[in-house]
Amino acid sequence: MADSTRRQFLRSAGTAGIGLTVSVSKSTRRAIGEQSAPVVVPSPNEKPALLGGKPTVTGQWPHWPWVSSSDEEAVLEVVRAGRWYRSRSVEQFEEEYAALNSARYCIATASGTTALVTSLGALGVGPGDEVIVPPFTFLATVTSVLLHYAMPVFVDSDINTFLMDAEKLESAITERTKAIIPVHIGGNVANLDRILAIAEKHRLAVVGDACQAHLAEWKGKSAGSWGTTGCYSFQLSKNLSSGEGGAILTNDEAMADACFAFHNCYRKRTRASLEAKYHFGRNANFRMTEFQAALLLNQMKGIKERAQLRSDNAAYLTTLLASIPGIHPAKEYSGCTRNAYHLYMFRYDPNEFNGLPRNRFVNALRAEGVPCSPGYAPLNKEQFLMDALHSEPYVRVYGHQAIEQWPERNQCPENDKLCEQAVWFYQTVLLTDRTRMEQIAAAIQKIKKFAGDLQKS
């Protein structure tokens, strides 16, 4: 019985994956520390690890970042040249990153957060303004708004895609609204057609948060190249990394100049003007260093191959998981022509797992050797946000009444549900092979089969 179920599972897994091939170069195989011993997909009838069985996955998952001797060389060259301050490497990175994304301008920054802060600063966002954000995101999307003493206004999530529900966007706009920040969370692309059309109608800026969306595309064009600006992060976990770092893409020359000035103590783009007298302007030093740029230039060499590997494995995993009742992989809008898969996100329905709570499911999956996370808590309900809004400057600018009404105005019931159901895998899980995807599906099948026992244990 155990064997026939296993064969059945493998047969369905194999059939589902027909037509998908993963070609992985030798260097990629080395980087992911690929197992030389054959990897086994165990039967879903075997006891889950939390109940004393053997974990489904016993080998290592890929470490991150992938480091090669050429990374060391690139950084050493900068060290030896004493060229540590923003110069050739940063400029070359800006050129290459703009070209990679078919954008006209790129401004490298110290981080993704400072890319967002710079974009909003360059737009003149300040106290009294409102900026629209989604609630299923990393806190930096919102703290970049708070840093300008602007008011974040939340638009609920579309539970199927995990992204801002563009159908609910227009009703959140007021005469105070200055900008919209659609977030391409996990690398899945927000509904840019709808969002840009609404922004144009109301003459609003669109600052795309593409911090998790390297190489993601909307209708064949880089997700970060749409709208007023697109902001990226190169923090350690990201699909392209230099430990810390960020970039702004834009096709608008005036915006590029304003962002450059903002991130460079309001000194303008040309070398001569670095010596020029100071100008008034809200600004900061958010420059990228040469070390970061040198690493990024080198890391960019394998970016397309890694993106392809993630896409292929994610597509295969989706065919496997979609057949498990209670597991709902995040959907994409039809305009999303490439998902960056910084995260592989799905919803978990405990009703299909004998009532096994989501956190218990996550623990069981981790015990099976599959790294996963229950994802974000509802950002619109975070205490730090309430504290910010009740701080003296906010009360002074917006008044007690607006602050008191804020929680009611910013309810996101669909996102509350999403935050109870979400589970995600990190991008490194996808930098493996099809057998690993089958192991993930087998681990979930195992948990499903024993969900009642896991519930009691």
- Contact range with ligand PLP by CB under 6 A, out of 57-65, 92-100, 150-158, 207-215: 207-215
CA–CA separation, 178 and 187 (whole Å): 25
Residue selected from 34, 129, 209, 217 as contacting ligand PLP according to rule CB under 6 A? 209
Q: Count the residues of the shown chain that bind ligand PLP, applying the rule CB under 6 A.
A: 14
- Of 113 and 319, which CB lies nearer to ligand PLP in the complex structure? 113
CA–CA separation, 188 and 171 (whole Å): 24
Q: At what angle do helices 434-449 and 303-321 cross, to 10 degrees?
A: 30
CA–CA separation, 377 and 444 (whole Å): 23
Residue selected from 101, 119, 137, 289 as contacting ligand PLP according to rule CB under 6 A? 137
Shortest Å distance, C-beta 109 to ligand PLP: 9
Residue selected from 43, 113, 118, 380 as contacting ligand PLP according to rule CB under 6 A? 113
Per CB under 6 A, 379 contacts ligand PLP: no
- Contact range with ligand PLP by CB under 6 A, out of 5-13, 28-36, 87-95, 133-141: 133-141
- Contact range with ligand PLP by CB under 6 A, out of 91-99, 135-143, 287-295, 318-326: 135-143
Residue selected from 191, 235, 289, 339 as contacting ligand PLP according to rule CB under 6 A? 235
Per CB under 6 A, 111 contacts ligand PLP: yes
CA–CA separation, 145 and 180 (whole Å): 11
Shortest Å distance, C-beta 246 to ligand PLP: 5
Shortest Å distance, C-beta 211 to ligand PLP: 4
- Contact range with ligand PLP by CB under 6 A, out of 18-26, 155-163, 208-216, 278-286: 208-216
Residue selected from 118, 188, 233, 239 as contacting ligand PLP according to rule CB under 6 A? 233
Per CB under 6 A, 211 contacts ligand PLP: yes
Residue selected from 28, 119, 141, 283 as contacting ligand PLP according to rule CB under 6 A? 141
- Of 140 and 317, which CB lies nearer to ligand PLP in the complex structure? 140
- Of 211 and 259, which CB lies nearer to ligand PLP in the complex structure? 211
Residue selected from 61, 97, 105, 138 as contacting ligand PLP according to rule CB under 6 A? 138
Edge-to-edge strand list for the sheet holding 205-209: 105-109, 246-250, 229-233, 205-209, 177-180, 130-133, 151-154
Site for ligand PLP in 243-272 (CB under 6 A): 246
Per CB under 6 A, 191 contacts ligand PLP: no
Question: Which of 245, 180, 247 is CA-nearest to residue 207?
Answer: 180
- Contact range with ligand PLP by CB under 6 A, out of 106-114, 192-200, 314-322, 344-352: 106-114
CA–CA separation, 394 and 146 (whole Å): 9
- Of 129 and 209, which CB lies nearer to ligand PLP in the complex structure? 209
Per CB under 6 A, 227 contacts ligand PLP: no
- Of 224 and 369, which CB lies nearer to ligand PLP in the complex structure? 224
Q: Which residue is nearest to ligand PLP (CB)?
A: 112
Interacting residues toward ligand PLP by CB under 6 A: 111-113, 137-138, 140-141, 183, 209, 211-212, 233, 235, 246
